[in-house]
Amino acid sequence: MNTNDTVDPEFTARLEWQVRTALRRTSRLARPARGAWRVAKLAKSAAIVVVALTAGATATLALQRVQESRSAQLRGHIASLELARAAQRQKLCADALARVDAAIARGMEPVSARNEAELAAARGVGELRRRQLDVEEIAASGRAPDDSLAAPRVGGRDFAGARLGVDLDDASAALAVAQHALEHVQQLASAGATGTGEVADARAAVAHAMSEVDRVHARTGLRSRFLSGELSAARVEWLGRIADNEAATIRRAAELERAKAVVERARTLSAAGFAPQGDVAAAELALADAQAELMILRDERALLDEELAAAH
Amino acid sequence: MDEAGWLALYRETVAPLYAFVARRCGGDRALAEDVTQEAWLRAVDAWRRGGAPREPLAWLQTTARRLLIDWARGEGRRRFDRVELALDEQVLAPTTPRAVAAVQQALARLRAPDAALLEEFHFDGRSVREIATAAGASEKAIEGRLRRARDALAARLRPWIEEARTP
C-alpha cells in the first residue's frame, strides 16, 4: 500500500471536471422560480448564458452532453447484456429443476433433492425480473438504477419499490426451502438417522431466511411511507438502516446459538477422544466471534437510535 | 458564488482534504480518492442549495469522516493480524483495508472528544503542545487523556486482533 498523502494531479483534474459538470448540470436542471424572483433569475441566467457563450463555453457544454449521452448509452448496453445473461441463467436453472423432478419421479433422487434446485430456479426468475427493471429504469432516466429507500420515482414508476418486491419473493422462496429442509432433517433425526447438529444448522438457516423476509418487508413498508410523504428522505434511510440492523441481530443471535451447540458437541467428542483439541479451540473461536458480532450490532443499534433521536 | 469562485474554493481545499482522508485510509489511495470525490460532490449539492459554510474545509472533513465510517460499516468487521496495525504511544497506523475499517468503526464508538483527540494526534500530526495550547489545558492533562483514549481504542479493537500464529 502507498502511504503517500499527496494528492495525484490527475485525480485533482478529473475531480475538478466532475465538480464543474455537477455545477453546470444543477444550473441547467434547477427548478424555475416564481414571480419577480423568476424574472430576476431568468435575467441572471440569460446573462450567464451570454457570458458563457462569449467565453466559448458552447463547445464544452456540447461535449459534455455528448459525454452524458454516451454514458447513458453504455449503461443501457451493459444492462441489456446483464439481462441476456440473467435470461440464460434462468433457463439453465429451470432445466436443472426439470431434470431433478424427472430423477425424483424415477426414484433416482430423494424428494429433498428438489430444495436446492427449486431455490436456484426461484433466484433465477428473481434475477431476470431485477435486470429487466434495471434496463427499463436506465432507459427512462439514463442514470444507474437507484435502490435507496429515498429514490425518486422515474417516469412515474417506482423502480426501487418494484425491486423490493422481487427481493421479497426471493426471500420468501428461500424461507420455504429452509423450512422444508428443517422438516426433512427433523424427520431424519427422530428416526435416529442424523444428529442434533444438523437440526441446529437447519434451524439457523430458517431463522436466517425469516429475518431476511422481515427485513425486506420492513423496507417495503418504509418505502411506501416515504412515497406517501409520511417520512423524509433522511428519516427513511435511517429507519432502513435500523431494519437492516434488526435483521442482522436476529441472524447473529441464531448463529450464536448454533455456535454454542457446536462448542458443546466438540467438547463432548474431544473428551471421548473422537475429536482433536484443535476442533474445540476452533469452535470456541467461532463462538467468541459470534458474541463479539452481536455486541457490535447492539452497539450500532444504540448509536443509530441516538443519532435518529438527535436528528429529530 | 459563480463558477470561478467554486473552482477557487475547490483548488484551495482539495489537497488538504485528500491529505486528511489519506492519513485515515492507511495509504489506500483508491479509497482516499473515492472518499475525497464523494465529499466534494456532496458539497456541490449541499452548498448550491444552502450556500458555502463559513469553514468549507472543516465541512468537507466532517463529511469525509462520516463517509469513511459508512464505508467501514459496509466493510463489516473482520479479524486482522496484529502486524496490520501499529498502535502505541506515538503511532496509530492501520496498513490494510480490514484494519482501517476496524479502526474507523472503533473510533466511531469512542466518546467523540476521545476520538477527536486521537485523530488530531495520530492522523493530523499535531503535537501534544499544540493540542494543549488550543484546548487551554496542560500538556500533562492532554497526555493523560491521550493515554486513556488509546486504552479505550485498544479495548474496542482487542476482540478483532488475531495474534500471529507460530508455525
Q: Could you report the per-residue pLDDT of A186-200, keeping only the tens digit for each? A: 888 888 777 767 787
Residues whose CB falls within 8 Å of the CB of residue A299, separated by 6 or more in sequence, listed in order: B109
Query: Which B residues in the span 11-30 are in contact with A, Cβ-Cβ below 8 Å?
Result: 11, 14-15, 18-19, 22-23, 26-29
* Residue range B97-104: mean pLDDT, rounded: 86
Q: What's the pLDDT score for residue B117?
A: 92
Greatest alpha-carbon span in chain A? 89
Residues of A with Cβ-Cβ distance to B108 under 8 angstroms: 303
* Residue A307 or residue B37, greater confidence: B37
> Up-side HSE of residue A308: CA atoms within 13 Å toward CB?
17
Q: What's the pLDDT score for residue A66?
A: 65
Alpha-carbon gap, residue B27 to A276, rounded angstroms: 42
Closest CA to A174 of A149, A211, A147: A211
For residues A164 and A227, the answer to whether their CB atoms sit within 8 Å is no
Q: Is A107 left (phi over 0), alpha (psi -120 to 50) or beta?
A: left
Nearest to B14 among A12, A289, A293 (CB): A12
Whether pLDDT at B167 is above 50: no
Residue % of chain A over a pLDDT of 70? 84
For residues B124 and B64, the answer to whether their CB atoms sit within 8 Å is no
Residues whose CB falls within 8 Å of the CB of residue A243, separated by 6 or more in sequence, listed in order: A215, A218, A219, A222
What angle, rounded to 10 degrees, do the helices at A159-190 and A196-227 form? 160
* Residue A304 or residue A151, greater confidence: A151
pLDDT digits (tens, 9 = 90+) for B113-157: 888 899 999 988 899 999 998 888 899 999 999 999 999 998 888
Q: How high is the mean pLDDT of chain A?
A: 80
Q: What's the pLDDT score for residue A159?
A: 92
Residues whose CB falls within 8 Å of the CB of residue A120, separated by 6 or more in sequence, listed in order: A93, A96, A97
Please tell me the pTM assigned to this model.
0.48
B118 in reach of chain A (CB within 8 A):
no
Whether pLDDT at A84 is above 50: yes
The identity of residue A147, as a single letter, is D
* Residue range A137-158: mean pLDDT, rounded: 87
Interface residues from chain A to B (CB-CB < 8 Å): 1-8, 11-12, 15-16, 18-20, 22-24, 26, 288-289, 292-293, 296, 299-300, 303
Which grid coordinates belong to B104? Answer: 474507523
pLDDT digits (tens, 9 = 90+) for A218-251: 898 899 888 888 888 888 888 898 888 888 888 8
Residues of B with Cβ-Cβ distance to A5 under 8 angstroms: 18-19, 22-23, 27, 32
For residues B79 and B161, the answer to whether their CB atoms sit within 8 Å is yes
Whether pLDDT at A62 is above 90: no
| Domain definitions of chain A by residue range | 69-144
Q: What's the pLDDT score for residue B66?
A: 84
Question: What's the angle, vertex CA B162, arms to CA A249 and CA A278, rounded to 5?
Answer: 90
Whether pLDDT at B159 is above 60: yes
Say yes or no for a CB contact (<8 Å) between A19 and B45: no
Chain A residue closest to B38 (CA)?
Answer: A15
Residues of A with Cβ-Cβ distance to B79 under 8 angstroms: 289
Q: What CATH number belongs to B3-75? A: 1.10.1740
Mutate to test the interface with B, among A6, A7, A18 (most CBs of B within 10 A): A7
Q: What's the pLDDT score for residue A262?
A: 85
For residues B77 and B94, the answer to whether their CB atoms sit within 8 Å is no
CB-count burial class (<10 Å; 0-12, 13-18, 19+) for B10? buried
For residues A126 and A169, the answer to whether their CB atoms sit within 8 Å is yes
Given the cut 0.90, state whether the ipTM is greater than it.
no
Which of 1.10.3260.10, 1.25.50.20, 1.10.10.10, 3.40.109.10 is the CATH number of B80-162? 1.10.10.10
Whether pLDDT at B77 is above 70: no
Mutate to test the interface with A, among B1, B3, B84 (most CBs of A within 10 A): B3
- Chain region(s) in chain B for CATH 1.10.10.10: 80-162
Residues of B with Cβ-Cβ distance to A23 under 8 angstroms: 3, 6, 44, 48
Q: What's the pLDDT score for residue B21?
A: 92
Whether pLDDT at A70 is above 80: no
Which grid coordinates belong to B115? Answer: 476520538
Alpha-carbon gap, residue B27 to A286, rounded angstroms: 31
B42 in reach of chain A (CB within 8 A):
no
Say yes or no for a CB contact (<8 Å) between A296 and B3: no
